[in-house]
Amino acid sequence: SIQGIFQRVQSEWNSPPNVVIWNAGARTVPPVEDDMFSLSQESLTHDININALGPFIAAQQAVNEWKKLPEGTAKIFIYTGNKMNIQPVPVPATATLGMGKSASSFWINLADTLSRSKGIWFFYADQRQADGNMGGIQLDGTSHGKFFVQLARQEEDVPWHATFVPGKAQ
């Protein structure tokens, strides 16, 4: 459970985490080719739980745990997103992933707007290609890691919708 993960971190580190990263995703290919409405309610619920509800619950738990941290400690939530929140991929197999990413980008934007002045940052981190297009399936885990460290260190004032291109200075 999400709460169990926070309890384990608290137990092992004697402190709640001040940086939380949600890097999970799910998508279900519709059973009828080219018909997103052939998805079952169960598949849709499963994927939305992973793509939108799970990270919301993790953020909720993080915000609650962050109340225990000393004043001035950076508190950061990073969600691994993609460009589907602003540019849908016209393929039915992306329906549940796109819905979840879009829902999460909304609440992350709202959470960041409401909490940044309190020292809490929320980021929707999105890898792009040099031309601005979505990263697609050519994702770079090392670049994600480096960018997430940059976000955690708050080296720059980065907006909630934090995009990056592998190999380029951010």
Tens digit of each residue's pLDDT (9 = 90 or more) over 15-37: 999 999 999 999 999 999 999 99
List the domains of the chain with CATH numbers. 18-164 (3.40.50.720)
Give the global pTM: 0.94
- Measured distance CA(138)–CA(128) in Å, rounded: 10
Question: Mean pLDDT, to the nearest integer, of 63-84?
Answer: 95
* Half-sphere CA count of 152, side-chain side, radius 13 A: 13
Q: What residue spans of the chain are helical by DSSP H?
A: 2-13, 41-48, 54-66, 95-115, 141-153
